[in-house]
Amino acid sequence: MKYELRHLSFCETLYQSFQLYFHNFIPLFMISFISNIPSIIISITMGERLLIIKGEYWDIRFLVITIGISILCTALSIELISKRYLNHQQSIKQYIQNLLPFFLPIIGLYILSALIIAGPGYLLYSITNSKTALALYLIPAIYLLLTLSMSPQVLIVERQKVTNSIIRSISLTQKRKSTILGFIMVIGMINFYVIKISNVIHSIIISQINPTYYSYLISMYTLRHLVDILINPFITCALILIYFNLKIEKEGFALEYLVDQLGSSTSGKK
C-alpha cells in the first residue's frame, strides 16, 4: 500500500498507525513472536521459581534476555515500518542486514537513555533513602523519557551516531512533548483494555477447565507474552509516524526530499 506522506493530525496518526500495523501484520507478528520465543521458554521452564510469597520477581537472566530481545525486536520493526511507510519494499533478510552495523549502537543508545532517565532517580534514592523523593522524581523522569523518545527512530532511520540521535531527539521533541505524551496515553489505554479483555477471557477459560496451579502460571505468562507480541508492533508503528510528523513539522522540507534522503539510509551515515 502507498501511504500519503504529509503531516498528520492526532486522529490521522492513530488511524494510519492501525493501517501500518494491519497492512504489515504478518512480518511484524513474525518479528515480535520470534524475538519473544526465548522469553516464553524461560517463563515456562522457570514459572515456579518466578513466584514468591509476597509477589512476583524476575530472575536477572530473564531480565537481561528479555531486554535484549525487546531491543532487537523494536529496532527491526522500526527499520521495517519506516521503509514500508516510505514505500521501499525489502525482504526481512535485507532489513536484518541493514541493521547489523548498527546493532551495538542501538544497544548502547538504550543503555545510555536508561542511565539518563533512571540514573538520577537511583542516585537520589541512594542519597535520601526516601520513597517520597523517588516519587517526586517521576515528573522529571517522564520529561526525560519524552525528550529521548525519538532517539531510536533517529538512529535507525537516519543512521545517526548515538550522541547525535539523542541531540536530534531533543530538538525534534522541543515544545511537542505534550503531543507525544497524548499519544503515549492513548496507546497505554489501548494496551490496558487489551490486557483487561484478555484477562477476562483467560479467567473464563480457567474456570471451565480447572487447571493445576503450575498450568495456571504457564497460561498466565503465555497470555502476557501474546499480548506483548500483538501490542508492541503497534506501538512501533505509532512512534514511527510521530517521528515523521515531527520531522516534517520541524524541518519543513519537501516530502520528495524526505523520501530520497531516508529511502537511501542503508547506504548513508555509518
- Domain range annotation of the chain: 10-102+174-267
- Residue 213 main-chain phi, psi, to 5 deg: -60, -40
The better pLDDT of the pair 241, 52 is held by 241
**pLDDT grade, residue 228 (50/70/90)?**
confident
**pLDDT grade, residue 46 (50/70/90)?**
low
pLDDT in tens, 99-143: 888 888 888 888 888 888 888 888 877 888 777 877 888 888 889
Phi-psi label, residue 174: left if phi above 0, alpha if psi -120 to 50, beta otherwise:
beta
Range from 53-57, 134-138, 217-221 that averages highest in pLDDT: 134-138
Looking at residue 91, its pLDDT comes to: 81
Mean of the per-residue pLDDT values of the chain? 80
Whether the per-residue pLDDT at 185 is higher than 50: the answer is yes
CB-count burial class (<10 Å; 0-12, 13-18, 19+) for 45: exposed
Please, what is the Cα angle at 144 between 109 and 130, to 5 degrees? 110
Q: What is the pTM of this model?
A: 0.80
The better pLDDT of the pair 63, 269 is held by 63
